[in-house]
Amino acid sequence: MIPPQEASARRREIEDKLKQEEETLSFIRDSLEKSDQLTKNMVSILSSFESRLMKLENSIIPVHKQTENLQRLQENVEKTLSCLDHVISYYHVASDTEKIIREGPTGRLEEYLGSMAKIQKAVEYFQDNSPDSPELNKVKLLFERGKESLESEFRSLMTRHSKVVSPVLILDLVSADDELEVQEDVVLEHLPESVLKDVVRISRWLVEYGRNQDFMNVYYQIRSSQLDRSIKGLKEHFRKSSSSSGVPYSPAIPNKRKDTPTKKPIKRPGTIRKAQNLLKQYSQHGLDGKKGGSNLIPLEGHEHDFRVKHLSEALNDKHGPLAGRDDMLDVETDAYIHCISAFVKLAQSEYRLLMEIIPEHHQKKTFDSLIQDALDGLMLEGENIVSAARKAIIRHDFSTVLTVFPILRHLKQTKPEFDQVLQGTAASTKNKLPGLITSMETIGAKALEDFADNIKNDPDKEYNMPKDGTVHELTSNAILFLQQLLDFQETAGAMLASQVLGDTYNIPLDPRETSSSATSYSSEFSKRLLSTYICKVLGNLQLNLLSKSKVYEDPALSAIFLHNNYNYILKSLEKSELIQLVAVTQKTAERSYREHIEQQIQTYQRSWLKVTDYISEKNLPVFQPGVKLRDKERQMIKERFKGFNDGLEELCKIQKAWAIPDTEQRDKIRQAQKNIVKETYGAFLHRYGSVPFTKNPEKYIKYRVEQVGDMIDRLFDTSA
């Protein structure tokens, strides 16, 4: 049971909660009543508002629709007025722009092009909307006149501002690749920057709006003329510079020219000039100035024979009869080589300029036309060189043919750049340089073959033989010519290879030595061809010398002649790289020449047998000391002494006029002969010098042993 007190407290608590709940319920009931009242009031207000909105809508919508129609009408009126203004403006284009078109675009190109744009739009409008309108003819005529003015302005700008490139600047441009100390590139400015911008704008307008390509013809004609004149100016610069100072030069880079002017000597094929002078001197004149007799004594060591000195002075005479023609030939060669390089550089520069002015799809064709005159001029000059070489071969003037070698080498070296510059041009244009190279290779190979044949078949035996037995001009010609080939080994080898001369020289072709091109051979194969060719020339020379030596009645002089020539050939081979080149296909060439030289020395020494035979021990009388000689024995001794004396004097007199230019060989031959004669004469004199075979011993014993040696020491010495 719950205690009474706790039950009473519990009841009071429940009653308090009930009272609170009743109060809350009463509050909620009042709130609901108020909410219902408010809802009714709101519904009443909304209903009233809806009614008013409906009334407003019924009043406003008609007004709105009317206003919208009015706005649309206003816009239509404004558009109509604008169109009328636009159309009316086309009728005023001719009058507004006529003055500008008449005055031309000079000095105000942008304004002029703006006017042309207005005229073009007017033409388009009238063509679309009023093709029969007289205004169309008026604006068309004005447009054509404006286009002609733009074409004229294009021509005028190109003509007035396209200048010939100076030779000095061209030489700077050509030399820039070789000058390591030059750090700045040489840039050609064909047109001023402002002029270039105007030309480009006109070009683009004529292509896009003018529908005109005639300006491209104008462009290539003007630029072609400048290119051609620039190259011709360079060639003329060489001629004038050579005639005045002897050395064409180019100052330093333009922006440094005032501060650091320097002379750039042109690379000249000096070895060719020397060979040409020598070859012409030998082929046209003897050293004494007369055709025929040659007294050539080649310079050996420090030997300064008078005739060699005379030759050297003649060759170094800048005002002599030979210098003019050969120096001019060098100038022409140098000029042509530099003109080829100049063409490549200028053509590259022209193409860069053309790319800015001419539309892309017309660039190759325009460039092809632009370079034709200059290229044709160079190719024609090259063909003239080939023609001159062909005529020179007919005349057996092989020195002139040497000019082909440096030119051909330069053409081959420049060909990759040529091909790159001519990329995209017509096939006929691309084939011009290869055609010239082929012509030069053909004529070069022809010259080489004819030279070898000429060496073999040279008929001049009797009237052109050196009386002193020295080196024949044919030998010096051949050696000099071959020495020039050292500077052009690859070129000469390629000449031979281009004619597929392997069969001629019995050289087997290895498939690895040839490429897909029939004229492209490995350098090793070309070197073997050239080596075989040189051996062929030397072989032909040796056969000809043997034939010529038979002209001499004296076998000893014939031997001296062959000795001098063989020795000259050997020393020339050894002093140059010819011996290494010969050894490529002929390993024993050097030994063979030494054997030939020794053989001729032995042949010469036999000429003294008729002297030493008189005093040799054979057939000499044998006598006992103190026994009186018989008359027959005395007479024999007298004859021996007389025969020796006469033979010695005769040989010394004759052989003193002979020549052995090589000091070492001359001393060697003298010493060997002196030893033999002195030993034999000394033994003879020792045996019979004190024998009483005559009452006048001084008549027969004319020379002491030392005197005989001195006489032999004066052999081969015309100054003694």
Mean pLDDT over residues 8-28, rounded? 90
Quote the distance between the C-alpha of residue 592 and its chain's center.
40
| DSSP secondary structure string for all residues of 609-648 | HHHHGGGSSTTPPP--TTPPPPHHHHHHHHHHHHHHHHHH
The amino acid at 391:
K
Which of 88-97, 108-117, 292-301, 488-497 bottoms out in mean pLDDT, i.e. has the lowest? 292-301
- Which string of b and e fits 508-526 if b means at least 16 CB within 10 Å? eeeeebbeeeeeebeeebb
Q: How confident is the model at residue 24 (pLDDT cuts 50, 70, 90)?
A: very high
Do residues 520 and 450 make contact, with C-beta atoms less than 8 angstroms apart? Answer: no
What distance in Å separates the CA atoms of residue 57 and residue 62, rounded to the nearest whole number? 9
Are 495 and 444 within 8 A, CB to CB? yes
- The pLDDT value given to residue 339: 94
Distance spanning both ends of the chain, measured CA to CA: 180
- Which of 620, 553, 626, 539 is CA-nearest to residue 585? 539
Question: Is 487 in contact with 269 (CB distance < 8 Å)?
Answer: yes
pLDDT score of 349: 92
Residue 232 has pLDDT above 90, yes or no: yes
Diameter of the chain by CA atoms? 211
Indicate if the pLDDT at residue 319 is higher than 60.
no
Task: Spell out the alpha helix ranges (H) of 162-245.
Answer: 167-175, 193-208, 214-244
Distance between CA atoms of residues 331 and 319, nearest Å:
16
pLDDT in tens, 123-173: 888 888 877 788 888 888 888 888 889 999 999 999 999 989 999 999 988
Question: What span, in angstroms and rounded, lies between the C-alpha atoms of 278 and 265?
Answer: 24
* Residue 342 clears pLDDT 80, i.e. is over it: yes
Q: pLDDT (tens digit, 9 = 90+) per residue, 596-618?
A: 999 999 999 999 998 998 888 77
State the Cα–Cα distance between residues 449 and 445, nearest whole angstrom. Answer: 6
Tell me, yes or no, if the pTM score tops 0.75: no
For the stretch 616-663, pLDDT in tens is: 877 666 666 666 778 888 888 888 889 999 999 999 999 999 999 999
Distance CA 45, CA 37 (A): 13
Least confident of 67-71, 493-497, 508-512: 508-512
Average pLDDT of the residues in 435-455: 92
Q: Is the pLDDT of residue 677 over 50?
A: yes
Provide φ and ψ at 709, rounded to 5°. -60, -40
Calculate the average pLDDT of the chain.
80
pLDDT at 103 over 70: yes
What does the pLDDT read at residue 296? Answer: 35
Q: Which residue has the higher pLDDT, 86 or 226?
A: 226
Instruction: Give yes or no for residue 265 having a pLDDT over 80.
Output: no
Q: Taking a C-beta distance cutoff of 8 angstroms, is the pair 622, 691 a contact? A: no
The sign one gets for the Cα dihedral 190, 194, 195, 196 is positive
- Print burial letters for 360-391: b (CB count within 10 Å at least 16), e (below 16): eeebbebbbbbbbbbbebbeebbeebbebbee
Q: Which residue do the tokens 């020393």 mark? A: 571
Q: Which residue matches tokens 């007799």?
A: 293
The residues, any chain, with a CB within 8 Å of residue 128's CB and separated by 6 or more, are: none
Give the residue, 49 or 255, on which the prediction is more confident: 49
Measured distance CA(627)–CA(291) in Å, rounded: 65
Please state the rounded mean pLDDT for residues 497-515: 50
**How far apart (Å, rounded) are the C-alpha atoms in residues 40 and 486?**
127
C-alpha distances in Å from residue 640, one per residue of 612, 620, 636: 10, 9, 6
Residue 249: predicted pLDDT: 44
Q: What percent of the chain has pLDDT over 90?
A: 42
Kindly state the average pLDDT of the residues 249-278.
Answer: 39
Section 210-217 average pLDDT: 82
- Residues forming a β-bridge with 514: 521
Q: Which of 595, 601, 401 is nearest to 485 (CA)?
A: 401
Residue with more model confidence, 53 or 261: 53
pLDDT at 187 over 90: no
